Structure 1
Amino acid sequence: MTHLPEPVFTQSYGPGCLSRMARFVLNGVIGTFLCAGPVTAIIALGWLTRRQGHTARTRFGLVEEAPGWLAGPRDVNGRPSGRVARALGGLAANIRMGLIALTALLAWTLPFTLLWLGAWWAGWENSFNKGYEQAFVGPSVFLFGTLLAALIVPALPFILAHLASEDRLSAAFEMRRLRTLLAQAGWRVPALGLVTAFFSFPFFAARGLITTATDWAPWIEDLTPDEVAALKGQIALFLAAAAFGTAWIARALAARAYVKAAPGAAGLRPGLWDGSAAAEAARPARNRSRLLTLVWYGLAMAITLGASFLILAGQFLDHAWWRWIFHPGLTLPWVG
């Protein structure tokens, strides 16, 4: 009996895997450098939002090209793209979607971030002018803003995912659709709230570490001006990478949660969701318990309260007013 040699199985990485890894690294590098500045961070926000919408629509059965940083799609509505649109269409789409997403996020977050900013300003004014009889104003305004944030922030991941899927600004304010979406999302609402809170911690830690740097790293005082400038550049680049990386992960998780919840909402209320991308994948669903929906959302609100005080502690360690408006965990992936 002839014994044939046993086949040797070797693990190989084909060009598909290598190209995906290369694209992943390239996207991370480009996104990091874009998130180093407030204007270019809008482009990064647009790319993240377009990628989020692409993920959702692909899961819904719609076929389209993945978003790029610079180049546009090869064809639009079945017609070949022009040279300019092909060469720069992706950049234009990223800018457009970045502005749309930022507008929607600011519309939802300014009601409480402006209150936080006012509370911060009132606190410093009272402290400077020794107006202790008005000392309650700052904390009271901040607490009111925090309660408002607790109502809004748990819905933000789903609002942005719905906007990305529909590719229009008005989608961020479709209250009836969003209400049914959140009801179908269930436990995913507090889960994404935990993600938001967890990703806020690195920026809080960075504020504290930078403010107290001379206490735990006294050698910094001996650096030359050029070395200090180089160190600041490295810290800024690290924070930009953190802002882009956390936003990328959070948007990806939100897209997955949206894909799970939106088809059920569309199947439950087909007339309400008619014409949406999620309607293409509508599936039968049952009405969620209103009590359970409130419990899940209440849990997400409690998580948001903790994240809000984390943001407060971090911001009071740094006196840049714009960071109250453009916190990377809430709006623009830019640390500032």
Structure 2
Amino acid sequence: MTPGRVRRRRAWPWRLVMFFWKYAVGVLLCLTPVTAILVVGWSYRLMQRSTLRRWHRLSGFGADKAGFHDFALGDGRTVEHVAWPNWLLGAPDAEWRGTAAPGRATRVLRRIAGSLWANLRTGFQASVNTALLVLPCGALWLLSWWGGWQNSFHKGYEQAWVGPLVGVLGIALFVLVMTYVPLAQARQASAGTWRAFWDFPLIRRLMRRRRLAALGLALVYVAAAAHGRGAW
């Protein structure tokens, strides 16, 4: 049995405890729109770590935890992915290997609130990118609702078609946008930069290569939305 497997067997109870702890904190943070941004950032960082682990496993450099641990520690850009992302605390000083030595004040701030800042920054960037494509659809739906309400209240039957037409346009635009957004979000999370969200040529190629996967991801969004509205 390799040392990596021995470590995994010894560490799994602690990993289980940490899973429930991080999950519980995430549930609480989802209760308000502002703190939910932290959950978005945390989930993007977790997705990036999962992507790096997958690439590391496929690269042939080693599939066990110890191998990935050493790999992540070897570069300042991957050192934060040694373990699951935290909600508040940053990486210990010993894990900032491969980066320029920061000052003492910077090290203290990184240790106390490094993950909090990373979650906030990543979540804000992800939310803005998604909103730039999704908010116009929501604005059309809001205008459609307003038009229907005005028609019902003022009895302006000559303009009765405005509300439904605007609503249908919003739905059509949303369907078009959501063929792009899920893979763009995955691309941004994996690359760790907001600019990757707008890599239209690459994401278009990914959509063509993995059509069934893109369809399945879209169905997950539909199921989540239906569950959120109480339809299921």
Question: Match of 2:147?
Answer: 122
Report the Cα distance in structure 2 between the residues aligned to 1:171 and 1:120, rounded to whole angstroms.
Answer: 34
Q: Is 1:140 equivalent to 2:165 in the alignment?
A: yes
Counterpart of 1:20 (choices 2, 15, 23) is 15
Which runs of structure 1 show a deviation greater than 4 angstroms over 4 or more consecutive aligned residues? Answer: none
Q: Is 1:58 equivalent to 2:53 in the alignment?
A: yes
Question: Match of 1:78?
Answer: 98
> What is the identity, as a one-letter code, of the residue corresponding to 1:67?
P
Question: Match of 1:67?
Answer: 85
Write out aligned runs for 1:247-326 (5 A): none
Relative distance call for 1:190 and 1:60 in structure 2 (3 A) is same
Report the Cα distance in structure 2 between the residues aligned to 1:57 and 1:122, rounded to whole angstroms.
Answer: 48
Q: Provide the alpha-carbon RMSD of the alignment.
A: 2.0
Contact 1:72-1:90 within 8 A present in 2 as well: yes
Write out aligned runs for 1:8-47 (5 A): 14-47=9-42
Offset, 1:57: 2.1
Question: Match of 2:114?
Answer: 89
Offset, 1:16: 2.0
Question: Match of 1:194?
Answer: 219
Relative distance call for 1:110 and 1:77 in structure 2 (3 A) is farther
Report the Cα distance in structure 2 between the residues aligned to 1:46 and 1:156, rounded to whole angstroms.
Answer: 16
Offset, 1:77: 6.0
Offset, 1:17: 2.0
Per-residue CA shift, 1:219-263, capped at 9, x if unaligned?
xxxxxxxxxxxxxxxxxxxxxxxxxxxxxxxxxxxxxxxxxxxxx
Relative distance call for 1:154 and 1:72 in structure 2 (3 A) is same
Report the Cα distance in structure 2 between the residues aligned to 1:120 and 1:53, rounded to whole angstroms.
Answer: 39
Contact 1:52-1:165 within 8 A present in 2 as well: yes
TM-score by structure 1 length? 0.55
Offset, 1:76: 4.1
* Unmatched tracts of structure 1, length 5 or more: 1-12, 209-336
Offset, 1:15: 4.4
> What is the identity, as a one-letter code, of the residue corresponding to 1:23?
M
> What is the identity, as a one-letter code, of the residue corresponding to 2:85?
P
> What is the identity, as a one-letter code, of the residue corresponding to 2:89?
A
> What is the identity, as a one-letter code, of the residue corresponding to 1:72?
G
Report the Cα distance in structure 1 between the residues aligned to 2:96 and 2:138, rounded to whole angstroms.
Answer: 39
Higher Rg of the two aligned structures:
1
Percent identity, aligned pairs only? 32
Offset, 1:125: 1.6
Counterpart of 2:204 (choices 175, 179, 186) is 179
Relative distance call for 1:77 and 1:150 in structure 2 (3 A) is farther
Contact 1:69-1:91 within 8 A present in 2 as well: yes
Contact 1:68-1:90 within 8 A present in 2 as well: yes
Report the Cα distance in structure 2 between the residues aligned to 1:93 and 1:200, rounded to whole angstroms.
Answer: 27
Contact 1:154-1:192 within 8 A present in 2 as well: no
Write out aligned runs for 1:95-244 (5 A): 95-205=120-230
Contact 1:163-1:172 within 8 A present in 2 as well: yes
Per-residue CA shift, 1:242-293, capped at 9, x if unaligned?
xxxxxxxxxxxxxxxxxxxxxxxxxxxxxxxxxxxxxxxxxxxxxxxxxxxx
Per-residue CA shift, 1:120-176, capped at 9, x if unaligned?
111112111111221111110111111111111132221111111111111111111
* Unmatched tracts of structure 2, length 5 or more: 1-7, 57-70, 73-80
Relative distance call for 1:127 and 1:85 in structure 2 (3 A) is same
Report the Cα distance in structure 1 between the residues aligned to 2:212 and 2:120, rounded to whole angstroms.
Answer: 33
